[in-house]
Amino acid sequence: MKSNFFSRLVSAALIFLILSTASLYSQGMTFDADVDKTEVRAGETLRLTLTLTRKINGSNYSGMNFPEITSIPDFDIVGQRSSQNLSYVNGVGVAQVQVLIELVPQKPGDLTIPSLTLKDPSGAVVSTKAIKIKAHPPKNDDEEEAAPEKAAEGNPPEKTGIGFFQGLMILVFIIILVVGSPIVLSFFMTRGSKASNKWKEHEDSEKSTYSHGSSKIADTKISDAKIVDAKIVDKNSNFDFETELAHLKRNHPDPDREMYKKFFEIFHTAIVSSSGRFDPAMTPDELMNIITRKLPASFNANVKTLFEDWEVCVFANQNPQRSFADVIKDAREILSGIKNME
């Protein structure tokens, strides 16, 4: 009887030892599978991640052995690596093994990574879920060439650089700017200087005087488009325009810029001397406004043309575009009209 009791006690101790050892290895094991993408072209890789997790009790955990996976139907295994991790929370340990497998589809179509099964030390079976993969045919040359065209239809690429038409317009603009800028500058200098440029006296300026009888005319010095030296002529003085003009022609047989300047000085003196209406300090523009108002309308064209020549010569420092004979003709007609006006 004592022998029977002893046998039962030993059996109970062995059962307790087996159950305790099993609890050290397994209390709830899970096995999961996941992929980084479910659609791939044949020849491209996808990543399969297998994760085995198990809870353990005790501190004598010696690790988990994960079986090596050598093949998966319809896929080539091109790489495989694993890692293990163990952590404890409140005396309960969690062991985890993770395996990363690089797969390449062997053919296009609807493929499946099958369910994978493992047994824990207690004999319990854990399995992953099957994963469906869509493998597209590999790209060919026609598709690669068509891809940029489709992208261009849906979302036209940004244009870079300068097109032919834009380049042509820029070239035309540059030509206009180079050719037209002197003309525009001359125009604005002429029109913009009318109100501000006055005939002024300057004691230190150089003077050249040519005389006839008792009358003397001071030469005018031009600097920065302003007349800075002019001799004031007594109004209604005995000034002979034709005599001074003849003297000018003798000194300047060929019309040049200096001759035109002296001519308009003579013309200015002749206007001021011919009538008390004019002030020697008036600009050509101011003289023209008074003459246009006083003379008949038939003189307007001649007055405007002659005074434009005057401004071009004095302010723009250029010769008139027409002949000297035409300039003299208009000057004589205007002086004659002023005398008749008086």
In whole angstroms, what separates CA 236 from the centre of its chain? 67
Mean pLDDT in residue range 79-87: 86
Alpha-carbon gap, residue 291 to 271, rounded angstroms: 10
- List the structure tokens of 179: 């050719």
Alpha-carbon gap, residue 105 to 78, rounded angstroms: 11
Per-residue model confidence as pLDDT tens digits over 100-127: 999 999 889 999 999 988 776 667 788 8
Per-residue model confidence as pLDDT tens digits over 164-175: 888 888 988 899
In this predicted structure, the answer to whether residue 206 has a pLDDT above a threshold of 80 is no
89 falls in which pLDDT band (50, 70, 90)? confident
Most confident of 90-99, 191-200, 275-284, 303-312: 303-312
Percent of the chain with pLDDT over 90: 22
* Domain spans, the chain: 26-137, 209-341
DSSP count for the chain of H helices, then E strands? 8, 13
Tell me, what's the pLDDT at 202? 36
**DSSP SS3 for 247:** helix
Give kind and range of the element (H or E) at residue 287. helix 284-294
Mean pLDDT in residue range 124-138: 89
Contact 33, 129 (CB under 8 A): yes
Residue 298, CB-side half-sphere exposure with 13 Å CA sphere:
2
- List the structure tokens of 26: 């397994």
CA-based nearest residue to 267, from 201, 220, 197: 220
- List the structure tokens of 15: 């059962």
What kind of architecture, by CATH, is found in domain 26-137? Sandwich (2.60)
In this predicted structure, the answer to whether residue 228 has a pLDDT above a threshold of 90 is no
CA-based nearest residue to 194, from 327, 312, 330: 312
Tell me, what's the pLDDT at 189? 67
In this predicted structure, the answer to whether residue 180 has a pLDDT above a threshold of 60 is yes
Mean pLDDT in residue range 124-139: 88
Tell me, what's the pLDDT at 164? 85
CA-based nearest residue to 46, from 59, 56, 37: 37
Give kind and range of the element (H or E) at residue 130. none
Four-CA torsion 276, 228, 283, 242, nearest 10 degrees: 60
Q: Could you identify the residue written with the tokens 């992929």?
A: 35
In this predicted structure, the answer to whether residue 243 has a pLDDT above a threshold of 60 is yes
In this predicted structure, the answer to whether residue 154 has a pLDDT above a threshold of 60 is no
DSSP string of 149-174?
A: HHHHHHSPPPP-S--HHHHHHHHHHH
Tell me, what amino acid is at 183?
A: I
Instruction: Tell me which of 29-33, 56-60, 254-258 is least confident.
Output: 56-60
Tell me, what's the pLDDT at 159? 54
Average pLDDT over the chain, rounded to an integer? 74
Q: Is 230 exposed, middle or buried (0-12, 13-18, 19+ CB in 10 A)?
A: buried
Contact 244, 213 (CB under 8 A): no
Tell me, what's the pLDDT at 274? 82
DSSP class of 72: B
Most confident of 141-145, 186-190, 218-222: 186-190
**DSSP SS3 for 53:** strand
Tell me, what's the pLDDT at 126? 83
Q: Could you identify the residue written with the tokens 């296009």?
A: 108
Contact 245, 266 (CB under 8 A): yes
CA-based nearest residue to 312, from 181, 199, 210, 189: 189
Tell me, what's the pLDDT at 144? 54
Tell me, what's the pLDDT at 158? 57
In this predicted structure, the answer to whether residue 220 has a pLDDT above a threshold of 50 is no
